[in-house]
Chain A
Amino acid sequence: MAQRTTEIVTGLFIIAGLAALMFLALQVSGLSPKSDADTYTLYANFNDVGGITPRGKVAMAGVTVGSVKSVTLDRDTFQARVELTIDANVDNIPADSSAVIRTSGLLGEQYIDISIGGDMDSLNAGDTFYSTQSAMNLERLITNFASGK
């Protein structure tokens, strides 16, 4: 009987450990079983991506609608080409919308904000944003101001 109680308590201990690991995976690191099926890909070319890295946030009107998948350099135009993964239920982004790099808070991380345009047509999977606005670079701003340009 004592052995059986020990076994039950130990079993509960191991289950608690696995539950804790599940919590760390799902709630803390936000790992979700969501596959690529319910997202689609858009592209945006920036002159300067600043601090945008893979897994970064993509937002519309402050609501997160996707994430940055990769940031690569286009060898021909010397621009940064950013691959964005957008939730499939946001499939009506107007075709003349622009992608803008913004900073959340004064010292917060940078994210890509989609400024909504007015076109009746919407962007399809694999399309590239027509207009973009690069990251604000404080040093360049100061240099421009100092040299009077």
Chain B
Amino acid sequence: MDRIASLGRVGLDVVATVGRAGRFLAGVLTGVSRPSVGFPLLVRQLYSVGVLSLAIVVVSGLFIGMVLGLQGYTILSDYGSEAAIGQMIALTLVRELGPVVTALLFAGRAGSALTAEIGLMKATEQLSSMEMMGVDPLRRVIAPRLWAGFIAMPILAAIFSVVGIWGGMLVGVEWLGVFEGSFWGNMQSSVSFTQDVLNGVIKTVVFGFVFSWIAVFQGYDCVPTSAGISSATTKTVVYSSLAVLGLDFVLTAVMFGDF
């Protein structure tokens, strides 16, 4: 009987958490503050979430592009079609690796920081003192962080893809001697703007939204102790990685599945 009761409790907890997350999101999105107050806060968060993640995104994009170039050359040169390396690198990056790897890196770099920051604010009762002063913490603290993650993600993913393609070109064209004209020509004839580039951007928008929602909600909902903050940070990274990978499959099936 106890077992069944504990199962029921777990189920109720999950449902309650999903409900709290939904109400939380609705509160953040509907509580629009005045642009003169909100905009500087958003810019500062965009800086700490987006600009400071640029280094890790650029460096990993470069190396992933270079690895794709090397691997692609090794496989394709067996069939004498190493000129197709350009389209392979571009399609892999624009469709899959750009959005997914950027989201995973971003969750590790920025998501954990967001959760820890908000969690610590809650533990040191900064959020409750704001409420006491009549400042809505959802508007003042949470909304700029949510929007910053949402806006920064597509920008970072686009930069990731471009740097990766440049890295692939560095290896393929400069080192291994693939003809540059066919590298770009094959790429342009096979990558379609609406099918590939725009679908990749849609993916990053969805990932950015889900990831920032998970990160700020875990911080806001954490148990206000040091153990609670650490488990909330872990949960952010685990949940957002799983959500990104799962959603990636669903989105890929919807976008590219029907041919």
Contact (Cβ within 8 A) A21 B201: yes
Q: Is the interface of B mostly helix, strand, loop or mixed?
A: helix
Among B47, B154, B184, the one with the most A-chain Cβ atoms within 10 Å of its Cβ is B47
Any B CB within 8 A of the CB of A105: yes
The residue that A106 contacts in the complex, of B79, B151, B158, with Cβ under 8 A, is B79
**What is the bound-complex CA distance between A7 and B40, given in angstroms?**
8
What is the chain A residue whose CB lies nearest that of B42? A10
Number of A-B contacts (CB under 8 A): 84
**What is the bound-complex CA distance between A102 and B90, given in angstroms?**
25
The residue that B43 contacts in the complex, of A10, A27, A55, A107, with Cβ under 8 A, is A10
Known: A17-B158, A24-B158. A108 touches B81 (CB 8 A): yes
A20-57 interface bits toward B, Cβ cutoff 8 Å, 1 = contact, 0 = none: 11011101111100000000000000000000000101
**What is the bound-complex CA distance between A16 and B154, given in angstroms?**
11
Known: A17-B156, A23-B162. A9 touches B40 (CB 8 A): no
Total interface residues in chain B, CB < 8 Å: 35
Any B CB within 8 A of the CB of A13: yes
Contact (Cβ within 8 A) B90 A13: no
Known: A24-B158, A27-B184, A29-B192. A105 touches B80 (CB 8 A): yes
A2 → B minimal CB distance (Å)? 10
Any A CB within 8 A of the CB of B191: yes
What is the chain A residue whose CB lies nearest that of B187? A28
Known: A3-B40, A13-B54, A106-B79. A24 touches B162 (CB 8 A): yes
Q: Give every chain B residue within 8 A of A6 (Cβ-Cβ).
A: 43-44, 47
**What is the bound-complex CA distance between A24 and B94, given in angstroms?**
8
Contact (Cβ within 8 A) A20 B50: no
Among A14, A17, A30, the one with the most B-chain Cβ atoms within 10 Å of its Cβ is A17
**What is the bound-complex CA distance between A55 and B189, given in angstroms?**
7
Q: Give every chain A residue within 8 A of B142 (Cβ-Cβ).
A: none
**What is the bound-complex CA distance between A9 and B156, given in angstroms?**
14
Q: Give every chain A residue within 8 A of B161 (Cβ-Cβ).
A: 20, 24, 28
Q: Give every chain B residue within 8 A of A25 (Cβ-Cβ).
A: 193, 197
Q: Is the interface of A mostly helix, strand, loop or mixed?
A: helix
Contact (Cβ within 8 A) A28 B90: yes
Known: A20-B155, A28-B165, A30-B188. A9 touches B80 (CB 8 A): no
What is the chain B residue whose CB lies nearest that of A21? B158
B195-213 interface bits toward A, Cβ cutoff 8 Å, 1 = contact, 0 = none: 0110001000000000000
Q: Give every chain A residue within 8 A of B103 (Cβ-Cβ).
A: none
**What is the bound-complex CA distance between A91 and B66, given in angstroms?**
42
Any A CB within 8 A of the CB of B247: no
Q: Give every chain A residue within 8 A of B188 (Cβ-Cβ).
A: 27-30
**What is the bound-complex CA distance between A17 and B53, given in angstroms?**
13
Known: A13-B46, A29-B192. A107 touches B51 (CB 8 A): no
Q: Give every chain A residue within 8 A of B67 (Cβ-Cβ).
A: none
B165 → A minimal CB distance (Å)? 6
Q: Give every chain B residue within 8 A of A31 (Cβ-Cβ).
A: 193
